[in-house]
Structure 1
């Protein structure tokens, strides 16, 4: 017997949220499936918070830094990345979460969710057209940077423990790897 998983649209997912069905659960929508999110441990909470504060100061008015807030993607996904660097659209975000065209890059901090973030989410973000995706591996305290979308996947994957990265969206900005990892 083949088991078929029920898929949910973003609209159906939003209706569940509005009806309070998911209010007691920490979940996100990934490719039409409602997925439980791992709880944040202390290193995850500390490192992502410190990195967000650093990016707020570094980028100033160039972008808005959203922490653990949904983004809406066309592949029936509404993940909640730890950090999303998005366009400053102000009150427009009262009407919708950031769409791919509003997103400069996203960052996930991962320990127990490492495989999901490196494999599943990298494909979801690439398919949605997000030009850059960073994963902080909290097991090894390194930064994995995905870039260069080719056939719905990132063609370039680099790992850093130190140094400087210039984000694709802001090539004149120097991001210190150590400030993102916060080891």
Structure 2
């Protein structure tokens, strides 16, 4: 006997949220499945907050930095909550819906216990949605994994950094210190590098 898992549509998921069925549960919709999200440890929580502040300072009004807020990926029946979503600054639009793929510059996930999910299921989901750039900050191994150029459900470019600087594809003039992504200094107090 084969067991088949029921897949949820975005509309079903939104209805569950509206009626309070998912209240008090930290979940996200990933490829039609409602997935429990592990609680954030202190390092994960503070580091993603520090990085959000750092990126806000670097990007100014060029992008909106959304911390742990949903993005809607209609073609994959997904509404994940990446740690950071760097999106077009369309605040009025986001009062009516979450950012869609065409509104997203790049996504960042901080990973400790969620590393396998972030490097596999989420990577493929984001690539399938044509998100141009996806970063995974691996806290355990102190590595930044950068995925670019989505094609047919995966990324064709992958780079691993432990030091140095990086510029996102959408903002080639913005230089981001890899060191600061791992808590190397105070990204708000430190001068721009």
Shift of 1:154: 0.3
For the Cα contact (< 8 Å) 2:165–2:176, is it kept in 1?
yes
Aligned residue in 1 for 2:52: 52
**Residue aligned with 2:109, SS:** strand
Aligned residue in 2 for 1:113: 114
- Provide the C-alpha distance between the structure 1 equivalents of 2:179 and 2:80, rounded to a whole number of angstroms: 25
Shift of 1:151: 2.1
**Residue aligned with 2:173, SS:** coil
- Provide the C-alpha distance between the structure 1 equivalents of 2:68 and 2:151, rounded to a whole number of angstroms: 27
Aligned residue in 2 for 1:31: 31
**Residue aligned with 1:90, SS:** coil
Shift of 1:140: 0.8
Give the gaps of 5 or more residues in structure 1.
Answer: none
- Provide the C-alpha distance between the structure 1 equivalents of 2:182 and 2:130, rounded to a whole number of angstroms: 25
For the Cα contact (< 8 Å) 2:161–2:178, is it kept in 1?
yes
Deviation per residue, 1:51-83 (Å, 9 max, x gap): 000000000000000000000002100000000
Aligned residue in 2 for 1:67: 67
Aligned residue in 2 for 1:90: 91
Equivalenced residue count is 183
Aligned residue in 2 for 1:177: 178
Structure 1 residue ranges (4+ consecutive) displaced by more than 3 angstroms after TM superposition: none
Give the gaps of 5 or more residues in structure 2.
Answer: 185-193
- Provide the C-alpha distance between the structure 2 equivalents of 1:68 and 1:179, rounded to a whole number of angstroms: 19
Aligned residue in 2 for 1:147: 148
- Provide the C-alpha distance between the structure 1 equivalents of 2:150 and 2:48, rounded to a whole number of angstroms: 25
Aligned residue in 1 for 2:129: 128
TM-score by length of 1: 0.98
Aligned residue in 1 for 2:13: 13
- Provide the C-alpha distance between the structure 1 equivalents of 2:32 and 2:46, rounded to a whole number of angstroms: 30
